[in-house]
Chain A
């Protein structure tokens, strides 16, 4: 399946793009997606980030479903 993945802040800087479509297997967890992206972008490895699925931060063993919006979020800095 294909997933839309968005990047923010220093993550977008490390990937050098703001969003892209990533192809994954049909049984892909958040954790597996994280590893796949860290393999694709070596620059991501030292950065601490959270993954939001449809705007919620979930446990990383949850399986992803098609048509969800994935976002990689670095540390928050509001205020």
Chain B
């Protein structure tokens, strides 16, 4: 089994981190197409109260295993050159990025399909929990649809 990559990042994922990640791929010239998914914390209105932030937590050991399984499944299903997944833990304010998924392939179609597959699998199978903090400092628990 390959070494597991670190997925979790404390707090929001900065646009600079994302830009830096794109830049690192400029030496990999077999790549012809990148596709990126960015999850952003939405200011939902929940019974008249606006979400201010999400406090993410996870069953970390299981989540890392699941991320690894999803990576392996995606690599065996799609002809990708590389793949990166980052997810926030802790507080992420509305408008900030909490999930960064980045796939690269020789051609675009594979990148589009692999990215959708990856994001859906992450949402479905990875034990990450989100506490939505409301403006009056009460909270509700987020559920993926």
- Flag if B123 contacts A78 (CB, 8 Å): yes
* Interface assignment of B107: CB less than 8 Å from any CB of chain A: no
- Flag if B61 contacts A77 (CB, 8 Å): no
Stretch at the interface among B14-22, B71-79, B108-116, B128-136: B128-136
Report B124-142 CB contacts with A as 1/0, cut-off 8 Å.
Answer: 1111111100000000011
- Flag if A8 contacts B129 (CB, 8 Å): yes
Query: Can you list the 3 inter-chain pairs with the closest CB atoms, starting with the nearest?
Result: A9-B129, A78-B128, A77-B130
- Flag if B62 contacts A55 (CB, 8 Å): yes
Number of interface residues of A (CB under 8 A): 14
Partner of A8 from the list B39, B57, B98 (CB cut-off 8 Å) is B57
User: When chains A and B are docked, how far (Å) is the Cα of A54 from the Cα of B142?
Assistant: 25
Q: How many A-B residue pairs have CB under 8 A?
A: 67
Binding site for B on A (CB under 8 A): 6, 8-10, 52, 55, 71, 73-79
* Interface assignment of B65: CB less than 8 Å from any CB of chain A: yes
User: When chains A and B are docked, how far (Å) is the Cα of A79 from the Cα of B122?
Assistant: 8
- Flag if A9 contacts B65 (CB, 8 Å): no
User: When chains A and B are docked, how far (Å) is the Cα of A77 from the Cα of B99?
Assistant: 11
- Flag if B124 contacts A75 (CB, 8 Å): no
- Flag if A76 contacts B57 (CB, 8 Å): no
- Flag if B128 contacts A77 (CB, 8 Å): yes
- Flag if A77 contacts B142 (CB, 8 Å): yes
Using A8-B57, A9-B57 as known contacts, say yes or no to A76 and B141 having CB atoms under 8 A apart: no
* Interface assignment of B144: CB less than 8 Å from any CB of chain A: yes
Residues of B within 8 A of A10 (CB): 129, 141
